[in-house]
Amino acid sequence: MAEESRDVLEAVRAEKLKKIAESGIDPWGHRFDGHQAVAATRAIELPKPAEGQTPEPGPTVRIAGRIMLKRGQGKVVFLDVRDWTGRIQVFIGKKQVGDEAWALVELLDLGDLLGVDGTLGYTRTGELTVFATALTFLGKSLTPPPEKWHGLTDQEIRYRRRYVDLFSNPESLRTFLGRSTIVRTFREVMHRRGFVEVETPTMQAIAGGAAAKPFVTHHNALDVELFLRIAPELYLKRLLVGGMERVFEIGRVYRNEGISPKHNPEFTMMEAYQAYGDYHSMMDLTESLICAAIEAIGGGFIRAWGEKTIDFTPPWPRRRYLDLLRQYAGIDPEDFDAVKARARDVGVETEGRDRDVIISDLFEATVEDALIGPAFVIDYPAAICPLTKRKASDPRIAERFELFVDGIELANAYTELNDPRLQEELFRSQLAGQKEEDSMAKMDEDFVQALKNAMPPAGGLGIGIDRLCMLLLNKPSIRDVVLFPLMRPQAPRAAEGEEAEEG
């Protein structure tokens, strides 16, 4: 039998569950009031007994958590119990808890959930310990947990069974609590600055606001094709027209592209729009947000990033796009022949392509990886920015910035284009030059119509939350900061006599 080994292990636990139930205890537990977090319990100030002295009876405590280790010693057992704040040792003596509770102790397995009442104190080896006086069974683990020392290391199982990863690898839990802190901090900063949080459609008839292939779905009653949004941008700007002067949205966007350590098909963006601001307002906001997040999760502004160290100490440099290109590509961007020659050197296709698109690829190939510390790249070639206001002094330059850290694009922001006629023209010209799905500018008649009502001049910002979490929590893959990353569904187990169907 394929699953014999697992079946035996689970049968043993099922038998224990039965015995627990027969003893009159609900093996699935119930409400358990008044317990305190393990971290709070550990924080209780308790003088260590002096050498050879009988310790004073400590305070009464009540905790709850999962049994991670069990060290039996005859008529005494030591447990390591863990909740989401930490671990603590529990001492259970047969004489101390009585025969009835002891019968339960003999049925406890690693992975079970247990509530413990007891007194806090130190063992003779000096370990802070809950000396149990009563036990409350809170849940039977019917399947064995991973190995107690190594935890779960198989990447695939860590992603597919995140619940096991979370309780068996403390670092994983710490990471996701850190992500939550980062997102909460973003909301706090935004609210403090007078932004309101809104929700806009994730199913859209026109997937605009970014350049990406969308997921397609269908609404039955309306019998229409809809797309999962690739960005909330065009809806949020409609709200600016409506007079919501400072809006933001933290939400999932979906892009039907490849999967990589930096790409998950669904990911979280925060977009924000501020009426009467510009891209410089957005740079200030970006720096404030990320610095506040760093302070919230701790660890300081100088942070480990893999083998590297990144200094987030503000203010971050603001470098012009074309200046960086001159410096790192070593060419004059005005000299198109030189641009093409250099582009070919680094493997960028030049034949029949727009000048600014070639420059954009050249920039990616030569500059982006060279920017290690956080750096705002500002003032992009206008042709690659169809939603961005042009500089009054030079219409070939768009008022856009991107924030880079170690070659990773963390944020993208503009002074928003609010001229409806120019917007319509840019939509049309972009559409003419490119395949629609490759274009950032999909014609959206209603959006142009919105702009005709006068959208206030504004700054707009998008920040990739997942990538920020990777950088701040020092995780090399986006899958380490997404709770349930997209995986290929597992083939269904072959039914008896049938072979698994192939697609």
Partner RNA sequence: GACCGGGUAGCUCAGUCGGUAGAGCAACGGACUUUUAAUCCGUUGGUCCUGGGUUCGAGUCCCAGCCCGGUCACCA
Distances in Å between the Cα of 321 and the Cα atoms of 258, 283, 334, 378, 401 are 27, 15, 13, 6, 9
Kindly state the smallest distance separating residue 149's Cβ from RNA, in Å.
Answer: 4
Question: Is 57 an interacting residue with respect to RNA (CB under 7 A)?
Answer: no
Out of 120, 189, 212, 383, name the contact with RNA by CB under 7 A: 212
Q: Determine the distance from the C-alpha atom of residue 429 to the mean position of all C-alpha atoms in its chain, rounded to a whole number.
A: 36
CB 372 within 8 A of CB 400: no
Nearest-5° Cα angle at 134, 133 to 136: 155
**321 by DSSP, 3-state: which?**
helix
Judged by CB under 7 A, which of 95, 99, 218, 337 binds RNA? Answer: 95
**Does 286 engage in binding with RNA (CB under 7 A)?**
no
Give the ranges where 76-152 is alpha helix by DSSP (H).
94-105
The one segment of 194-202, 331-339, 420-428, 482-490 that binds RNA by CB under 7 A = 482-490
270: phi then psi, degrees, rounded to nearest 5: -110, 125
CB of 295: closest distance to RNA in angstroms?
25
| Site membership for RNA, residue 86 (CB under 7 A) | no
Site map (CB under 7 A) of RNA, residues 113-132, x = contact: ----------xxxxx-x-x-
- The single residue among 14, 202, 477, 483 that binds RNA, judged by CB under 7 A, is 477
CA distance 272 to 285: 10
**Do 310 and 290 touch, CB atoms closer than 8 A?**
no
Q: Among residues 200 and 477, whose Cβ is nearest to RNA? A: 477
d(Cα 336, Cα 321) in Å, to the nearest integer? 16
Binding-site member from 26, 147, 171, 425 for RNA (CB under 7 A): 147
AA identity, residue 411: A
For RNA, the closer CB: 78 or 336: 78
What's the min distance (Å) between Cβ of 385 and RNA? 11
Name which of residues 415 to 474 contact RNA (CB under 7 A): 438, 440, 464, 466-467
Question: 331: which DSSP letter?
Answer: S
Amino acid (1-letter code) at residue 162:
R
d(CA 99, CA 105): 10
Residue 494 binding RNA, by CB under 7 A: yes
87 binds RNA (CB under 7 A): no
CA 296/CA 185 separation, integer angstroms: 7
363 counts as binding RNA under rule CB under 7 A: no
**Residues between 16 and 55 that touch RNA (CB under 7 A):** 16
Using the minimum distance from each CB to RNA, give the nearer residue, 178 or 462. Answer: 462
- In our burial notation (b when 16+ CB lie closer than 10 A, e otherwise), range 454-471 reads ebebbbbbbbbbbbbbbb
Q: Amino acid identity of 442?
A: K
Task: Return the residue of 29, 49, 86, 93 that touches RNA, per CB under 7 A.
Answer: 93
**One character per residue 383-422, x = contact with RNA (rule: CB under 7 A):** --------------------------x--x----------
Per-residue contact track with RNA, 156 to 195, x per CB under 7 A? xx-x------------------------------------
**Residue 74 is a binding residue for RNA (CB under 7 A):** yes
